[in-house]
């Protein structure tokens, strides 16, 4: 069953558009930056009186919102891009 699913995705799922091109371009910076964004959000929420479930939801939304934003911002500054991500353009 798994091989059939992989085969279907190989045959029909290999489509490119503007969104998938952009996601492919920022996938490495997002991979590198998601943990620091989560840790910053966690440190900001650590002393609040919110329940753990609410903190989890807030941190998840912060990670999904701020990680691509941070990746795009870091990609625009050449010195920071090289120091944080090691990417030379």
User: Rounded to the nearest 10 degrees, how much is the dihedral formed by the CA atoms of 23, 80, 65, 62?
Assistant: 140
37-51 per-position pLDDT tens digit: 999 999 999 888 888
**Residue 63: which pLDDT band, with cuts at 50, 70 and 90?**
very high
Asked if 75 contacts 53 with a C-beta cutoff of 8 angstroms, the reply is no
9-26 per-position pLDDT tens digit: 888 877 888 888 888 888
Cα(43)–Cα(70) distance, integer angstroms = 17
Asked if 40 contacts 57 with a C-beta cutoff of 8 angstroms, the reply is no
**Residue 35 confidence (pLDDT):** 92
What pTM did the predictor assign? 0.70
Token pair of 48 as six digits = 């609040």
């Amino acid at each position: 069953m798994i091989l059939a699913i992989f085969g279907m995705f190989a045959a029909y799922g290999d489509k490119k558009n503007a969104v998938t091109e952009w996601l492919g371009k920022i996938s490495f910076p997002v991979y590198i930056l998601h943990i620091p964004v989560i840790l910053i959000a966690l440190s900001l929420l650590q002393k609040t009186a919110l329940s753990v479930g609410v903190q989890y939801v807030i941190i998840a939304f912060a990670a999904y919102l701020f990680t691509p934003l941070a990746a795009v911002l870091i990609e625009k500054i050449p010195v920071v891009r090289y120091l944080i991500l090691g990417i030379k353009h």
